[in-house]
Amino acid sequence: MSLIDQVDGATQLAKNNEVQLLVFKVTDAAQSAYYAINVFKTREVVEAKNHFLTQIPSTHHLLEGTIVLRGVQIPILNLPLWIGHAIPKEDISRSRLLICDFNGVIIGLRIMEAHRVIKKNWSDMHAPDSYNANDQAKVVNDTRLEDGSICMVLDFEQLLSEVIPSAMVDVHESPENIKDLNMPQKLLNGEILIAEDSRVAQKHLHAILSNANVNHRIFNNGKLLMDYILALPDKSVIPAIITDIEMPEMSGFTVTKLLKENPETRNIPIIINSSMTGENNKREAQTLGADDFIDKTKSHNVLPLVIKVMHDKENLA
């Protein structure tokens, strides 16, 4: 059975505040670090030597070229070089290509070894402040393996924003004139609360809302968001919440479930903003009470969506 064949349903895991990670290494060194990616963003692991790499001139230095896999042209990104552990030339032929799907953008990441798949509760995933020390941070959170080794989860959205920026949201794109948006008074007077662990996604949402002069507050994970909300004496002042699904400490699905079960917060509009855009995740978000779901690559539409949901709730009241 392959590594990917060991995967359970992503939706069931997220609902239980769990995540399944593919653990890998980028060098052969005995003491080399372990890194991880959510299994449900991966498609397969292939041997690099079996796939001809076509180089592309005048591109980003981390973009090695492209391969053709089952008729699809896939860009190959030099992940080891990005994190400062370049694979020696003599080892390239023994390396692997981790084929991933980010919001429908298929890319290949060069790695040295696919180690195994592990399952973790998001409460076992940690994000110390050092990971958020600057806007170019490459690690979003970490966890411990059974032998005590640290396994770091990389901010692949940061990598994509550097190498293939066209795959990311255009924060200046808007489906309509901001001035024409019929913003509810509650939105004008309050601040949208956001739970998001990726620095890149945080910057995108901050730019989108700042461009529209909408007040907002960003939390690095779902637990920090929940702690803030529960401490508010009047929770009804919150105009809306935007949350990712994958986050350390507490997933967006758990945030949604807890808020919708609480009489004090159940009427707050919740928008799931995620790169895990499968239909199962969208159905689960709806089942848990989320008011809408948006693909991260379409985040430029998030404000009109928030406004629509708020107006819909007002009309139903």
More confident residue, 246 or 174: 246
More confident residue, 204 or 269: 269
Asked if residue 8 has pLDDT above 50, the reply is: no
pLDDT at res. 174 = 56
pLDDT digit string (tens) for 288-306?
A: 889 999 988 788 889 999 9
pLDDT at res. 90 = 87
SS (H, E, C) the chain: CCCHHHCCCHHHHHHCCEEEEEEEECCCCCCCCEEEEEHHHEEEEEEHHHCCCECCCCCCCCEEEEEEECCEEEEEECHHHHCCCCCCHHHHHHCEEEEEEECCEEEEEEECEEEEEEEEEHHHCECCHHHHCCCCCCEEEEEECCCCCEEEEECHHHHHHHHCHHHCCCCCCCCCCHHHCCCCHHHHHCCEEEECCCHHHHHHHHHHHHHCCCCEEEECCHHHHHHHHHHCCCHHHCCCEEECCCCCCCCHHHHHHHHHHCCCCCCCCEEEEECCCCHHHHHHHHHHCCCEEEEHHHHHHHHHHHHHHHHHHHHHC
For residue 239, name the pLDDT band (cuts at 50, 70, 90). very high
Asked if residue 13 has pLDDT above 70, the reply is: no
Asked if residue 142 has pLDDT above 60, the reply is: yes
What share of the chain has pLDDT > 70, as a percent?
88
Going from the N-terminus, what domains does the chain have, and what CATH number goes with each? 4-167 (2.40.50.180), 178-316 (3.40.50.2300)
Write down the pTM of the prediction: 0.81
Question: What average pLDDT is seen over the chain?
Answer: 86
What share of the chain has pLDDT > 90, as a percent?
53
